[in-house]
Each structure stands twice: as C-alpha cells, then as structure tokens.
Structure 1
Amino acid sequence: MSVLIARIGKPHSLHGEVTVQLHTDDPVGRFVPGAEFTTEAVAGSGVPRVLTLRSARRHKEIWLLGFEEIPDRTGAESLRGTRLLAQESDEASDDDGWYEEELAGLSVVDPAGVVLGEVVGLDVGAAQDRLRIRLTDGVEALVPFVEALVPEVDIAGGRVVVDAPPGLLDLARES
C-alpha cells in the first residue's frame, strides 16, 4: 500500500530544493538520498511520476528536499502541491500511528455510539495533529488527534470514537 509521506510546498533555493509539509513521523528514515517517491500531481503538470531524493536537510524546523530530476528553481516551482508517496514498510505497519488515507471516510461516533459525522482528513501540526471531521449538518470541525479526545480508532470496523468536551464541536459552527 502506498502512503502519503509529504506534500511539496514552495521552492527554497536556486538549486531546486522545495519545502515540504510532513505526513510521516520518521522523516530521517524516509528522506535518505537515493530514496524514490511516487508522485501525485495535477494532470498535465509535467511532474515526473517518480522522484529520486538528491538531498534532505532541516532549515529552521522545515524540511528541504532536492530531487535528481529537478535541477533548478523553475522545476521546483512546478512541484508545488505534489504529494510524495512511498510503499508502507513492515515496520511502519507495526506502530500505533495511522495514515490520512486510512482515516478518511471513517464514521465518527461519540462514546455512546451516536454518529457525529465522517473523517475527511488529517491536519498535521507541529505540536499535534487534528482530525478534520464533516459533522452530520455539513460543518467541518477540527478535533485534536490525542488519545484523551479520540480514545478509539477502529480501521477494520470503519469508525473513530471521539469523546469531545462540551462545546468543542460547536466551535466550528461559530466561525
């Protein structure tokens, strides 16, 4: 199974480096020169189907990647918004984490089993991740993806239990 590793942001240098939004908890293990990533990009964008990592480094808490196929800033600009995918490793499937692709589409229920909505995505943050949930009335809410608020993720059962404190889901309706 392919999993999302990162989304490419803006170019960083004249030598084709780009910023990335991480979707992996092991960037050091994933961003090894020579690693190949399958890409998902807008049709007709000219982005290669596979990118080979030339370099990876951190600069002010942001990961910068360079690819063999992208020699300059112009090429790097064309990568903006591209998703980098890799094959899920055996060790990744043994940890307690979940990928956005596994979570999207799961039903969201409260501890009593009442349907609250559906998971539509995962926002990865520096301090904590947040589940993006489309509530039954169509409003999208964010719930911190921490065990205290999301005590159960049942991929096989197709559901996530959210134990939101009073008012948390109503915050989305107020904005």
Structure 2
Amino acid sequence: MTAGAQGQEAHETDPQALPDSAERLRVARIGKPHGIRGEVTAQLFTDEPEERLAPGSVIIRIAGDQTVDRITTLLTVTRQRWNKSVALLSFREINDRDSAEALRGSTLYVEVPMEEDSDDDGWYSHELAGFACVDSAGEPLGTLKELITGSAQDLLVVTATSGEDVMVPFVEEIVPEVDVENQRIVLTPPPGLF
C-alpha cells in the first residue's frame, strides 16, 4: 500500500487524521437546502464563523450518510449570511437544490496550523472526547461525548454512567480541572444534574 493510499485510508476511518503540520477543526453540520440555488442551512460548531466560513474559505466536507463510505470532498465558500438566527452557506461547487440536498448531514471541517492551537485554556471537541468525567472525590460521572462551543458559553456533553447525555456548562465553577495528561475532567455539578 502506498503512503498516499494509507493517508486516504486514515482519512476514511478517522475523520480527525491529519498531517503533523495541521489539525482538523469541526466548524459546522449541513442541514436542509434553502431555496433553489444551492444554499444550505448550517448548524455552527465554531465561535468564529465569520473567519472560519468566510467567502473563499476551503472547507473539508465529510458525508454524513453512514450507509456508504465516508466521502471526503472539498468545498469553497462563496457566501455566508444569516436568515434570522439560521446560518446559511453557499459553495462554488453546489448550484442547485438537488446538489444541496445531497450535502444534508455532512460535517464541515477546516484545517488549522498547529501554532494556532497554542492557547492552554482552549480546546477543540476532538481533543477532549472520550475523557473520563469524575466528581471532586474521584467517583465516575460518565464520559465526555463532545464539546459544543457557543457564543455565550461552551457546553460539555457528558454521557453519564446511566447512559443519558447530560449538558454541563463549561465554566470554572462546575469544571474546575481538565487533566489532559490523564484524560480526566473533574466536575462539581449542582445537585440533580447527574
């Protein structure tokens, strides 16, 4: 198997696999088409949509359909706008409603240089996913499913030991410690959250 084929296989099996010089950041999930000219709605996962999804940005699309191979393609943003509180995106490669419908459920990523991730107080979702969540006494509360970034505050989605997903505000009072080395997050949740 050639190095290129191995790299392609890694991208198909691990959507976070990248060269050492870059990191993949999830920025959006495509929703339903909007209109007839290929525009789509988008659920945003970035607090910098104006920068990450600016016209001219090249976006990595991973197909959301789990019944087929996870297809990776590149899209170029031509327009980003808001319709009330809904983000709308247009791409150079998508010109009609049928093509836009084919994108539904896809996840969009951008590649960022490693140097951009030098802030010790910030994390991307894939860096924390799978971390054990414990209370201040070390008792298990669950496993981190994902980090959702928001304009007001970030949220941790924790799959509790009961199997239920619990949304935890990512604030210092409730999340006093993130131990990256031991892949552990200490939580001090209010009573009744778990």
> Per the shorter chain, which TM-score range?
0.7 to 0.9
Amino acid at match of 1:70: I
- In the alignment, is residue 85 of structure 1 matched against residue 89 of structure 2? no
Q: Is the 8 A contact 1:109 1:117 kept in 2?
A: yes
- In the alignment, is residue 67 of structure 1 matched against residue 96 of structure 2? no
| 1:47–1:135 Cα change, 3 Å | closer
**Alignment deviations for residues 145-169 of structure 1 (CA, whole Å, 9 cap, x no partner):** 2222112222232011111011111
| 1:48–1:120 Cα change, 3 Å | closer
CA distance in structure 2 between the partners assigned to 1:73 and 1:13 by the alignment:
7
Structure 1 residue 31 displacement after superposition: 1.5
- TM-score, normalised on structure 2? 0.77
Q: Is the 8 A contact 1:38 1:51 kept in 2?
A: yes
The answer for the alignment partner of 1:139 in structure 2 is: 164
| 1:47–1:91 Cα change, 3 Å | same
Amino acid at match of 1:153: V
CA distance in structure 2 between the partners assigned to 1:93 and 1:59 by the alignment:
34
Q: Is the 8 A contact 2:47 2:151 kept in 1?
A: no
| 1:135–1:157 Cα change, 3 Å | same
Amino acid at match of 2:76: T
Large movers: runs of 4+ above 3 Å: 43-48, 122-129
SS of aligned partner of 1:108: strand
CA distance in structure 2 between the partners assigned to 1:57 and 1:139 by the alignment:
35
The answer for the alignment partner of 2:26 in structure 1 is: 4
| 1:92–1:64 Cα change, 3 Å | farther
| 1:18–1:96 Cα change, 3 Å | farther
- In the alignment, is residue 51 of structure 1 matched against residue 75 of structure 2? yes
Structure 1 residue 127 displacement after superposition: 4.4
Alignment of 1:1-175 (within 5 A): 1-41=23-63, 42=65, 44=68, 49-89=73-113, 90-94=115-119, 96-124=121-149, 127-169=152-194
Q: Is the 8 A contact 1:20 1:64 kept in 2?
A: yes
Amino acid at match of 2:176: P
CA distance in structure 1 between the partners assigned to 2:147 and 2:31 by the alignment:
17
Unpaired runs of 5+ residues, structure 1, are 170-175
**Alignment deviations for residues 11-31 of structure 1 (CA, whole Å, 9 cap, x no partner):** 112111111111111111112
| 1:96–1:59 Cα change, 3 Å | farther
- TM-score, normalised on structure 1? 0.85
The answer for the alignment partner of 1:173 in structure 2 is: none
Among all aligned residue pairs of Structure 1 and Structure 2, give the percentage whose two residues are the same amino acid: 47
**Alignment deviations for residues 112-152 of structure 1 (CA, whole Å, 9 cap, x no partner):** 22221111123455644332212223333222222221122
